[in-house]
Amino acid sequence: MHQQWLKDFHRMIICQEPGKMAYTRPDAHLTCEFGRWFGALPEELLACLPNVQQLAAPHEQMHDAARQLLQLLHQENASRQTSYESFVDASLDFKLAIRHCQSELLQQICTVDHLTGAWNRHTMESRLHEEAERVRRGAHSCSLGIVDLDHFKLINDQYGHPAGDRVLSEVAGFLMKYLRAYDITFRYGGEEFLLCLPDTRLHEAEQFLNRIRENLAAHQIEIGAGQIINVSASFGVTQIGADESIADAISRADHALLCAKARGRNCVCAWDIGVH
């Protein structure tokens, strides 16, 4: 967004072309094309994009340096050279911040489920293998839980798919809020989420997920047009064994989930290693 701005600015200081008064205003960082775009972003969107938020400071610093340089443009003293160097440094800092932001956004697109904000299944494989390796080294325990929203198809059928999408997004946000900072939430598929609970033994995971299950069932979800519904979920949980594959651990958690559904749903079922 600043390529044309930089071309115009350099023509002003090198070719001594007449400049725009807007360039010397204290609020120039708000009135340029980038500033208008940034200022129009909803606060709730910015809250989800800290990498975009971080562009504000280097952008303002670049405009401040440009304004100071213009004020000294016709003065023959050392201050002008210093101001020019400060402007170049600020411009490079902003350019690097843009590139870093682009890289992080691309990484996020490739690793995060766009609907729920949870990590996607591609990311799940690599992250779970990392946790399994920690378990194999013998220093840590790790439990896996699969969460399946009860009767989710009825929500889509009764309220429509946009309402179903809203429920998935709300439940994902609920899980990420109530889990611990080092726990990981993945979108497993459909209305299912997979939870990775590092440093957690099976009995601890079962108790922890049961508290989450109770809170989720009491959590009200607004699905549009003033309608509010409650949803429940079934949980299957197991602990990763030191000498097994991630696929085997997930399969066991899936069996536990089937057990929870067979018990009437809205409950937690744990499946221990070695139980068949």
Catalytic residue ranges: 191
Rounded Cα gap, residues 186 and 77, in angstroms: 60
β-strand partners of 268: 235
Start-to-end CA distance of the chain, whole Å, equals 60
Rounded Cα gap, residues 118 and 72, in angstroms: 51
Nearest CA among 162, 150, 153, 155 for reference residue 115: 162
- Is the Cα torsion angle 47, 223, 181, 215 positive or negative in sign? positive
Rounded Cα gap, residues 186 and 126, in angstroms: 12
Rounded Cα gap, residues 133 and 140, in angstroms: 9
- Cα angle for residues 202, 204, 208 (degrees, 5° grid): 115
β-strand partners of 270: 237
Q: Which two tokens stand for residue 177?
A: 């809020």
Q: Quick count: other Cβ atoms within 10 Å of Cβ 22?
A: 10
Q: Count how many residues are written for the chain.
A: 276
